[in-house]
Amino acid sequence: MLDIGCGEGYYLSRFQKEIAPKASNFYGMDISKLGIRMAAKKNPMIHWLVANFAKLPFKEKSVSTVLSMFAEYSVPEIDRILTDDGNIIIVRAANNHLIELKNIIYPEIHEKVKTSSIKTFPGFCVEQENFSYKVTIQSTEDLLSLLLMTPHYWKIKPEGIENLKKFESLEVTISIEIDLLKRQK
């Protein structure tokens, strides 16, 4: 399994520990040296690589499962490295993911910040599952930590953060889409 854009490796580590704690064929890659350093400290069972998703350091048809969690990727590169019967798992935020938070931090929500990019894989069939539920974030500190985990932190104006600091708790919508792709036979 290869996680493209694994960041600090939280999700890949969970996969590895849950489904194959003794396996040594898990790979996490990210362009961020800092992220990979943190990942490597947390889970030495996984091979961690600093690389660019535009040029994956893997041979043709050598990876049986590709994972992309909230990250960008290259369709031709995934197509190149995936085995014939391989799986691709793509997880992304759906339109109303954290909508309550976005309503506070942006003066108005533009289409561009509402959706993450969706790329199609020609020659693949896709099964999609959607998950949506609400959680209450219980403190201003946790709300700020949540914001820091999102790409919005880097896009908003200082007023957005000031607006969020006025909240001591907030119920937010978690809404994600999971695509499972396989080659058409």
Ligand X SMILES: C[S@@+](CC[C@H](N)C(=O)[O-])C[C@H]1O[C@@H](n2cnc3c(N)ncnc32)[C@H](O)[C@@H]1O
Least distance CB 154 / ligand X (angstroms): 10
160 near ligand X, rule: CB under 6 A:
no
Which of 1, 14, 16, 32 contacts ligand X by CB under 6 A? 32
Residues 55-74 contacting ligand X, CB under 6 A: 69-72
Please select the residue that binds ligand X; options are 10, 124, 153, 167, rule is CB under 6 A: 10
Which tokens in the block code for residue 99? 């909508």
For 171, the token pair is 């119920």
Question: Smaller CB distance to ligand X: residue 53 or 167?
Answer: 53
Place of tokens 């946790």: 142
- For the four alpha carbons of 33, 36, 42 and 44, in that order, the dihedral sign comes to negative
What is d(CA 127, CA 184) in angstroms, rounded to the nearest whole number? 12
Contact 130, 97 (CB under 8 A): no
Nearer to ligand X, 51 or 161 (CB): 51
User: Where do contacts with ligand X occur on this chain (CB under 6 A)?
Assistant: 5-7, 10-11, 30-32, 35, 52-54, 69-72, 151
